[in-house]
Amino acid sequence: MSKAKGLFMVVAVVVLSVLCVSSLPAQQKRFFAIATGGTGGTYYPLGGILAQALSQQVPEVVVTSQAGNASVANCNLIRDRQVESAFVQSNVAYNAYNGLEQFQAKPARNLRHIASLYPETIQIVARADANIRSVKDIKGKRLVPGDRGSGSEVDALNILGAYGYAYKDFANVDWLSFSGGAQRLQDKQADVTFTTAGWPTAAITELAISTNIVLVPIDEAKIGELTKKYPFYARISIPKGTYKGQGKDVATITTMAQWVAGAEVPEDVVYKLTKALWEHGAAKMAAAHSQGKNVLAKTALAGISVPLHPGAERYYREAGIIKADKGKPTPRKKR
């Protein structure tokens, strides 16, 4: 072989090698979104904290948090594969998966459980000058039941139904976010609003500073009826002093906030994110938000209302949260 020909062969091999290397695809990052709620609630700040923690711990996944219209809308987003995951109330997730209530026409059968996060409390807030001291007193008033189609509205309708009330029994009904409802009370354009969120809720805290408010209790007999009819409700008291001017504990009901994902999200991705949640993310949430202190691994499967995602199940088995001899938890059966 001539010297020139040999040199040509070496150059050709080098060029070919460079071309092959350059043609190899760079490691692509996966984008993963968490749909939360309005900026005046608890979903939004906790979702942002969690997204940042997960992105730091799982570098191949870019996790983002986006404001949303809460539980019902978030279930629809997952059903339609417009978002990978979301925060939702357990009772709304149950209805969505089983095709109940507003999901009768289009169930969200691809909902999968990642983790239960914290209790969400139904907080009924009224202007002090509206003379509302119990749920029975709200008939004929100006009502904000929450955003249209939100988990708050679902809870409002369940509670109103227990008292025999419907929207036609009110002077006016406006469907607004937590912040929007609080603003209406502050502006004297509404009398009472329903907010389902972890307490203290920012929108209510801010409202209590500018406006004299009362937290309206649910009668004990009605609490008994509601918890019997709807298995995902439990009695809870909002401790006195939670909000400015709140001089006593207030009896109400609660449900769990859950992090759910679409069944189509790969098992390995959900496994890594579930692991990062409990090994890093939960501590970050606890340090940054009062409700974050209630995000505990021991209640990760509390009130599970849809099937467990295989990736989450894999982590919970490794961590010993699901015992080998007990099998995985199953969601409650359709009523």
Cβ–Cβ < 8 Å for 209, 172? no
- Give the integer Cα–Cα distance in Å for 159 and 250: 15
pTM of the model: 0.72
Q: Kindly report the length of the chain.
A: 335
Domain ranges in the chain are 30-119+257-318, 121-255
- Give the integer Cα–Cα distance in Å for 67 and 65: 7
Calculate Rg over the CA atoms of the chain: 25
Tokens 């993310």 — which residue? 281
Please give the pLDDT value at position 329. Answer: 66
Asked if 30-119+257-318 and 121-255 have one fold, the answer is yes
Give per-residue pLDDT as tens, 236-282: 899 999 999 999 999 999 888 999 999 999 999 999 999 999 999 99
Please give the pLDDT value at position 149. Answer: 75
Please give the pLDDT value at position 233. Answer: 85
Using alpha carbons, select from 102, 171, 114, 134 the residue that is nearest to residue 252.
Answer: 134
Please give the pLDDT value at position 29. Answer: 86
Q: Which residues contact 15 (CB under 8 A, 6 or more apart)?
A: none
Q: Which parts of the chain have pLDDT scores under 70?
A: 1-27, 324-335
In CATH terms, is domain 30-119+257-318 a member of 3.40.50.620? no
Please give the pLDDT value at position 332. Answer: 57
Please give the pLDDT value at position 325. Answer: 55
Q: List the structure tokens of 245.
A: 């001017």
Residue 221 to residues 75, 224, 227, 243, 311: CA-CA distances in angstroms?
32, 5, 10, 25, 41
Please give the pLDDT value at position 25. Answer: 44
Cβ–Cβ < 8 Å for 297, 122? no
Cβ–Cβ < 8 Å for 117, 257? yes
Class for domain 121-255, per CATH?
Answer: alpha beta
- Give the integer Cα–Cα distance in Å for 261 and 248: 39
